[in-house]
Amino acid sequence: MTTKPAPTTVPIDPLLAGRWSPRALSRQAVSAEDVHAMLEAARWAPSSSNAQPWRFIVCDRTTDANAYDRAFAALVPFNQGWVAGAPVLVVVCAQTVNAKGEPIGTAQYDTGAAAFSLTLQAHALGLAAHQMAGFDAGQLRESFAIPAGVEVMAMIVVGHHGDRQQMEGKLLEREQAARLRSPLGEVAYNGAWGVSM
């Protein structure tokens, strides 16, 4: 399954409605051009005062197996189980202090916008991108010599869509499950807190 459009209550752009987080990924390499396009999309994300606090460590199994293995080793066992063999892991970091040592208050927010831009570009290219929080940030910090003042925010696995029929159990259930979101009235308020749209 390469498509799983969101059941929106009103029409939204197909790029947004079509983006989802599959776990069925193939071992097929992602081209250098596609990786560059995803990073370029992230580079042009908005940020407060144009601080651009995002930093990405790209670990491509086909070009640097050592870096890939170090990133993979930091994933929790559940994520290792379905990520194994996927070609690209991206470590997403936020530079939380500026050159003067002052906090960048919007670093995490801005980095999230950049990471989402990366995933949208992946989807636009026909690739699958799945953002993950299940990893050992300390292990990544040590493995990749990530300096102080930089926070490890997420990891993103990127690859070509795979065959979900190769999955089983809970993984297959999750892959086939309907996409769900809270009703709009629970997350968007009309002029005052708690007043549903």
Q: What is the pLDDT of residues 61-112, one digit of tens each?
A: 999 999 999 999 999 999 999 999 899 999 999 999 998 999 999 999 999 9
Residue 73 lies in a domain: yes
In a domain, 186, yes or no: no
11 lies in a domain? no
The whole-number pLDDT of residue 197 equals: 86
Boundaries of domain holding 99: 22-175
Strand order in the sheet with 88-95: 54-60, 88-95, 150-159, 128-132
Q: Does residue 59 surpass a pLDDT of 90?
A: yes
In a domain? residue 161? yes
* Average pLDDT value for residue range 17-21: 94
Question: Would you say residue 130 lies in a domain?
Answer: yes
In a domain, 171, yes or no: yes
**Is 190 domain-assigned?**
no
Q: How much is the pLDDT for 120?
A: 98
* Core vs surface per residue 112-133: b (16+ CB within 10 A) or e: bebbbbbbbbbbebebbbbbbe
Q: Give me the pLDDT at residue 195, please.
A: 95
Do the Cβ atoms of 60 and 38 come closer than 8 Å? no
CA distance 21 to 133: 13
Looking at the domain assignment, is residue 193 inside a domain?
Answer: no
Consecutive H or E run containing 160: none
Residue 175: the pLDDT is: 86
pTM: 0.94
Domains contained in the chain, number:
1
Q: Which residues pair with 152 in a beta bridge?
A: 93
Residue 169: per-residue pLDDT: 86
pLDDT tens digit string along 125-171? 999 999 999 999 999 999 999 999 999 999 999 999 988 878 788 88
Q: What 3-state class would DSSP assign to 119?
A: helix
Is the pLDDT at 1 greater than 60, yes or no? no
Q: Please tell me the predicted confidence (pLDDT) of residue 172.
A: 84
CATH number at residue 85: 3.40.109.10
pLDDT higher than threshold 80 for residue 2: no
